[in-house]
Structure 1
Amino acid sequence: MIDAALTFHDATHRFAGGTDTPRAYLERCLETMAAREPVVRAWVVTNETAAREAADASTQRWRDGRALSAIDGMPVGIKDLLETRDMPTQMGCPAYRGNFPRRDNAAVWALRQAGAVVLGKTVTTELGGAHPGPTTNPFDQRRTPGGSSSGSAAAVGAGMVPAALGTQVGGSVIRPASYCGNVALKPTQGGLNRGERQATSMSTTGVHAGSIEDMWQVAIEIARRAGGDPGRPGLVGPPTPPPARRPAVLGVMETEGWGALDPASKRAFEQVVDRLRAAGVTVLRRTDHPMLDAFEAALVGVQAMTSAITGWENHWLFRNLVAQDENAISARSRAVLAAAERMTPEDYRLRLLQREEVRRRHAALAPVVDALIAPASPGPAPLWAGDVPGQTLVPRPTGDAVFNTPSSGIGAPAVTIPLTTVGGMPMGIQVMAQVEMDAQATAIARWMLETIPPVVA
């Protein structure tokens, strides 16, 4: 299995006891960054001076017994789609080079209020889409780290920071976490306040981390201060990580991607299913229950549906950028724009109706299963050496989101855990619960991580 990840929750007792400090913790993170960043390339910009000042202030608070929260002093990365008052927000796009709004996103503000140390901005794909940035996979530089939260996933996977913020519209939190060996929470839609990022109906702020405990603590500290999106109740759950909970019944979510899953990855997943059953969990497949089969039938076309909805919702932004400069965005993003321009309002309405049907079928599973499980990605991270000039662009250079678009379309919480290794590379398993049941998904994922022996295929 993959080496142990960097964690923070188990360091705070040392801060309180005076045998370690947030400043010393930060310096260890910076040492790892210095060693690994030249290859991994997870960061766009860092602010080490401000980070050291914040870590020193946290050190004093712990020394005085007045820590602001359980994440006081935690170094964190912020995906470069989210605004930060002390660093530019350039969104992986030449059109935003030098963009410096000098204000904090709601979640970033909440992290600072909780005492977290905002270390820097992590690489995102262009505008959070499919066009990749420079980041490499921390376990094999020939492979993608995933997208669009590529830098956040890689920074955590490389042990540079214990947690980082990402965002997901299709699969941009759960899939890169799978590729980089992280745990991650993609909350219920609107569970964490997106601040200025309200333009698309499926965008969700999430958390990459090296442990379930840190993942939950970061998320709940944000929710306790900034709440959720406008009109949303926000993340609901205990103020500390939910205790592990063994589920009675889990359902397998195959999605459209099941038939194309490679044999080794499929064997690894089936071994997880076998180990769950050996631990006393009933695991149902679509052939075992008509409601599961109806749900799987509704998932046909979900990936195209979510892409169309998001393309339509983004196309005014893309159109305005191209109107200013036709080369302001990549050829991939221009192709997304072209597809959206072919849509009509009626097309968009039909996609929304399709989404509502999928949500209805998922809600009907509430009395049937405690949660659904699935691969968090279609196998381990694929190789990626860059586009070849003069040849057709690779359609999904950061990997396929087919196993992630159901949770995005439904707005349901999903947690990924690094429970399998395939060909020496991590492949996550995801737990998807009902809407607003983020704590339940986390508790089940924690039980699986603590109970089910890791699978090496």
Structure 2
Amino acid sequence: MTANPSPLAKQDQSIQAWSWLADPATCISTNPSGPLAGLSFGVKDVLDVQSMPTRYGAHFPDALPAERDAACVALLRRAGAIVVGKTVTAEFAYAAPGPTRNPLNLDHTPGGSSSGSAAAVAAGMVDFALGTQTGGSMMRPAAFTGILGFKPSFGAVHRSGLFLLCDSLDTIGYFSRDLSVLRRVATVLQGLPEVRVPSAPRIGVLDGKDLGPITPAALAALEQGCQHLEEQGAQLERLPADPQLKELLILQGQIMGYEMARSLLPVWQASPDALRPVTVHAIKQGLDMPAADYHAWQARRRQLEQEWQDRYGHFDALLTPAAPGPAPYGLDSTGSSVLNRPWSLLGWPTLSLPAPGQNSPLPLGLQLIGQPHQDNALLDLASLLSPAAQA
């Protein structure tokens, strides 16, 4: 942090969205005529930014500045966007939360693990911010803070410069308050082709109740979203509970546990005091998982990917709640990700956006799930769902 707090640093004193802020004098666009010129952004602290330390939300007080940008950061800077700092993450993008508070109500969590990125955007500190998702690390914070969160198809954004927690799952995405900004960022990072969205898109609706308890308010928000979509000309089909959703949920947890343990083992060996007990416990559990089981899980995952494409590929999108309810009270828990993890396992693009017609003090989010590698079509569909998405 700079010695004399900037206006941004002062604004952040109560929210604590930032783990590192650049000197404002150095925040200058390298391409004032680029497609993202004039836009500022934050970077989740598991991605490298040149001249800023990467601490991963862990105890690394002496971390040296990164020598180069992550690939996504480099592309955004090349397009004229200005990076202003690193945002708080749960420790190594897993479970141990950071200090960030929800800017809409400081007594509530902003979600995790991309907590700082979502809070910085929701508080109007930056135009957009980079996050990552392994399970529900973007959809939940976006829902809890009332903004847009986009997780692209798996592999759509280059991951060089990201600390890989789970090689099979980790996906780089982005938050904004403005759908047009998300589209501009997607064009830079993904080079999305133009896609013609049907005038009456087919959308399958899953209420998610078979994955766990959903609050009445979240179910009511889903109904409001369905009504709004039908008014916009969408064709909705209410889908029965799919028993394989729970299997997808379990598989995601098993694969994540196995991969993260091996990813974090070198960190634990080199710096055992840097990690919190919940992270160390997860490493120990994951190391006990047999390799044969992991290969079987991956084989089953590939089967399910094909089965789900066969069953649901005729829809333009699926719709579910983005979270089981509003942001929980307190900062010890970042909320449940059960409604997000199946799609992270399948690698399908997802978009969290505020439900229309809300009157609650804390927002409720809806989750649109697109077809794999049809990211641009999903962003187009978002404009039908919520006036907030058309800002």
Identity, % of aligned positions: 31
2:99 aligned partner = 134
1:101 and 2:66 equivalent? yes
2:386 aligned partner = 449
Distance across 2 between alignment mates of 1:308 and 1:152: 27
Query: TM-score if structure 1 supplies the norm length?
Result: 0.78
Equivalent of 1:310, from 256, 266, 276?
256
Q: Does the CA contact (< 8 Å) of 2:16 and 2:116 recur in 1?
A: yes
Q: Which digits, 9 at most, give the CA deviation of each residue in 1:307-328, with x for residues without a partner?
A: 2212211212322233234433
Equivalent of 1:426, from 338, 355, 363?
363
Aligned-pair CA distance for 1:401: 0.8
Distance across 2 between alignment mates of 1:80 and 1:334: 20
Bigger mean CA deviation after superposition, 296-305 or 424-433: 296-305
Aligned-pair CA distance for 1:415: 1.2
Distance across 2 between alignment mates of 1:308 and 1:85: 34
Amino acid at match of 2:12: E
Equivalent of 1:371, from 300, 303, 317?
317
Q: Does the CA contact (< 8 Å) of 1:359 and 1:410 recur in 2?
A: yes
Equivalent of 1:252, from 205, 217, 220?
205
What is the alpha-carbon root mean square deviation over aligned residues?
Answer: 2.4
For this pair of structures, how many residues does the alignment match? 382
1:237 aligned partner = 193
1:25 aligned partner = none
Aligned-pair CA distance for 1:42: 0.4
Amino acid at match of 1:184: G
Cα 1:93–1:355 change in 2 (3 A) is: same
1:48 and 2:49 equivalent? no
2:3 aligned partner = none
Q: Which has the larger radius of gyration?
A: 1
Distance across 2 between alignment mates of 1:428 and 1:96: 36
Amino acid at match of 1:140: N
Distance across 1 between alignment mates of 2:317 and 2:347: 14
Distance across 1 between alignment mates of 2:26 and 2:81: 9
Distance across 2 between alignment mates of 1:39 and 1:217: 31
Structure 1 unaligned residues grouped into runs of 5+: 1-29, 62-66, 225-235, 288-292, 387-396
Amino acid at match of 1:345: A
1:227 aligned partner = none
Tell me the SS of whatever aligns to 1:426. coil
Query: TM-score if structure 2 supplies the norm length?
Result: 0.91
Amino acid at match of 2:107: R
1:159 and 2:127 equivalent? no
1:405 and 2:341 equivalent? yes
Q: Does the CA contact (< 8 Å) of 1:156 and 1:163 recur in 2?
A: yes
Aligned-pair CA distance for 1:144: 0.7
2:43 aligned partner = 78
Aligned-pair CA distance for 1:412: 0.6
1:362 aligned partner = 308
Equivalent of 1:276, from 204, 217, 229?
229
Distance across 2 between alignment mates of 1:300 and 1:259: 10
Amino acid at match of 1:221: V
Structure 2 unaligned residues grouped into runs of 5+: 1-5
Q: Does the CA contact (< 8 Å) of 1:77 and 1:164 recur in 2?
A: yes
Q: Which digits, 9 at most, give the CA deviation of each residue in 1:420-451, with x for residues without a partner?
A: 54731112111111111001111111121249
1:145 and 2:110 equivalent? yes
Distance across 1 between alignment mates of 2:141 and 2:135: 12
Tell me the SS of whatever aligns to 2:345. helix
Q: Does the CA contact (< 8 Å) of 1:207 and 1:215 recur in 2?
A: yes
Q: Which digits, 9 at most, give the CA deviation of each residue in 1:320-372, with x for residues without a partner?
A: 23323443311111121122122101111222133223312321145532110
Q: Does the CA contact (< 8 Å) of 2:208 and 2:214 recur in 1?
A: no
What are the residue-to-residue correspondences of 1:58-73 with 2, within 5 Å?
61=32, 67-69=33-35, 71-73=36-38
